[in-house]
Structure 1
Amino acid sequence: MTLAIAFALFCALPLAAQKTKKAFNGKNFKGWVVPQPNNDNWTIENGILHVKSSEDRKGKILWTEKEYTDFIIEAEYKNVSGIVDTGIFLRSETDQIQIGISGSLKKDVTGSPYIPGKGYPVFSTIDGILKENDWNHIKVKVVGDTYTVWLNGSEVMTYTSPDIPESGPIGLQLHPGNIMAVDYKNIRIAEL
């Protein structure tokens, strides 16, 4: 084994060795900033985070209290009702990973990045991977300005974002304008 290969393997070890930790305890919102008003759009029951629109259709974001630089977030989610148009915000509201139907495109682009003003710069490949009316597992790894998304164990997208902030909280979106419900469980985060 050459010295360069050994060094590369050594450098890769910390990333591979990082294990995610529970970011949602399934009982309360410890570690999260609950949106105000409309905090009743976010409820917890039997270890599941229920996110449901109210009649006013106002959108909100459930943010982590903690800010992250390089990280992995993973969760299981299930579309419950309505037109689910939601996502995971990465360090701010400028970079989002879509979950569900794009309001502008009228199609499911789960796993694709959405950037305000730029739309969807690339699209994920989810054909044959996404499970309808069932729990799906999404994993997002953010290192520097590049993020990669896996859906149900398959890599579906990598994108390098020119404007993503260096650090910030992670958010779960309740999109404004829709009547929808989505559930989350097993939300886990690892700092890299």
Structure 2
Amino acid sequence: MKYIVILLLFLTFGNIGMAQNSEGTTMYSLFNGKALESWKIPDGGEWTVKNGKIIAKNNPGKKGSILWTKESYNDFVVQLDFKMISGNIDSGIFMRGEDKNNPQIQIGISGSLKRDMTGSPYVPGASYPVEAKNVNKLLRLKGWNTIKARAMNNKYTVWLNGEEVMNYTMDNANLQGPVGLQLHPGREMEIHFKKIVLGRL
């Protein structure tokens, strides 16, 4: 009987991309490995899906764009795997939108600082108010990395490959908005994403 119950639970929840993280938060998949059903796809062809991965690659004109979720969120935690493929990677995760009241969690080289700022929050008009720690030891330049970012009220926390690397409290933060993945304009680059999950807090 016990095994029947376990099987029923698996059949009920296993196909809708639902699981729990280490904090007990129910996590829902934002990418099923086949299509971008949870996202608003920009025009231009920079975002494609292949072999279970989201591929973000600049077109010949080096045009950039942002892949936004269709839904908006208040407090949440988002986690994904990323791999830097080629070029001068400048990407990131937008937390609740794109303006001066929402930080972007950097992935790769900062265009303004010209060095890797992965895990650090970028704020328009304020640059990087804090810098993530131990990233040079944790970041895999040629392999897959797991990054987790949490937005709780106006407090933001980031983990890279299982280790907490950044805490930041932002005054006047917007407390609701979509999540976005960035492909920065003005450079040739390719970055891949997979295993994207989000949990409301």
> Are 1:65 and 2:57 an aligned pair?
no
Query: Which one of 121, 124, 144 corresponds to residue 135 of structure 1?
Result: 144
Matches within 5 A, 1:104-123: 104-123=112-131
TM-score computed with the length of structure 1 as normaliser: 0.89
Pairwise CA distance, 1:19 = 2.5
Cα distance in 2 for residues equivalent to 1:183 and 1:19: 25
- Give the structure 1 partner of residue 198 of structure 2: 189
Pairwise CA distance, 1:163 = 3.2
SS at match of 2:137: coil
Does the aligned pair in 2 maintain the 1:145–1:161 contact within 8 Å? Answer: yes
> Are 1:33 and 2:43 an aligned pair?
no
Matches within 5 A, 1:13-24: 16-24=23-31
Cα distance in 2 for residues equivalent to 1:175 and 1:161: 23
Pairwise CA distance, 1:32 = 0.5
Query: Which one of 43, 56, 63 corresponds to residue 61 of structure 2?
Result: 56
TM-score computed with the length of structure 2 as normaliser: 0.85
Pairwise CA distance, 1:144 = 0.4
Pairwise CA distance, 1:132 = 1.6
Cα distance in 1 for residues equivalent to 2:180 and 2:92: 8
Pairwise CA distance, 1:17 = 1.9
Note the aligned Cα RMSD (angstroms): 1.1
Aligned-pair identity in percent equals: 46
Unaligned runs of 5+ in 2: 1-21
Query: Which one of 73, 81, 84 corresponds to residue 76 of structure 1?
Result: 81
Pairwise CA distance, 1:43 = 0.6
Q: After TM superposition, where is structure 1 displaced by more than 2 Å over at least 4 residues in a row?
A: none
Pairwise CA distance, 1:127 = 2.6
Pairwise CA distance, 1:58 = 1.6
> Are 1:98 and 2:103 an aligned pair?
no
Cα distance in 1 for residues equivalent to 2:177 and 2:98: 10
Q: C-alpha deviations, 1:69-98, integer Å up to 9, x for none?
A: 000000000000000001000001131000
Cα distance in 2 for residues equivalent to 1:88 and 1:118: 17
Pairwise CA distance, 1:16 = 2.8
SS at match of 2:26: coil
Does the aligned pair in 2 maintain the 1:41–1:53 contact within 8 Å? Answer: yes
